[in-house]
Amino acid sequence: MKTYMPKASDVDRRWYLVDAEGKVLGRLATEIAAILRGKNKPEYTPHMDMGDFVIVVNADKIRVTGKKEEQKLYRRHTGYPGGLREVPFERLIATHPERALESAIRGMLPKNALGRSMFRKLKVYAGPNHKHEAQKPEKIEL
């Protein structure tokens, strides 16, 4: 018996369209991260990029539960002493609504070159319009 190992040329990449309107941030992010990794395919291999492309529209209409709207903070560091920057969820959604979903999904992917290549297949848009009609994305309900 030999274990089947797919080649990079064997990977069939598809395009999916997800509408984020009214969806909960974390629950949607887990489903999208699984598609980006390729865990929804029977030939999933952990050390290869088997995932599909995902287009997310209406990211500005995503919701969070509980008091996260007022209390959730997004932190980053500039690299300089005292350079901690904090942005509350409310302000992030008002200024850059796609970043909240991107941040959640990025945290669920591997922290290496493989994870970065998976993340590049994610396209997030704040409104209902996107520029990937030529790829004929398949609309899925998550």
Beta-bridged to residue 63, according to DSSP, are 24
Q: Reply yes or no on whether the pLDDT at 3 is more than 90.
A: no
Dist CA 100 CA 32 (whole Å): 14
pLDDT of residue 31: 98
- CATH value of 13-139 in 3.20.20.80, 1.20.1440.230, 3.90.1180.10, 1.10.10.10: 3.90.1180.10
pLDDT of residue 25: 97
Q: Reply yes or no on whether the pLDDT at 114 is more than 90.
A: yes
pLDDT of residue 90: 96
In this structure, which amino acid lies at residue 52?
D
Q: 1 falls in which pLDDT band (50, 70, 90)?
A: confident
Q: 28 falls in which pLDDT band (50, 70, 90)?
A: very high
What residue spans of the chain are helical by DSSP H? 25-37, 68-71, 89-95, 97-106, 113-119
Instruction: Please give the share of the chain, as a percent, with pLDDT higher than 70.
Output: 100
* pTM (predicted TM-score): 0.94
pLDDT of residue 127: 95
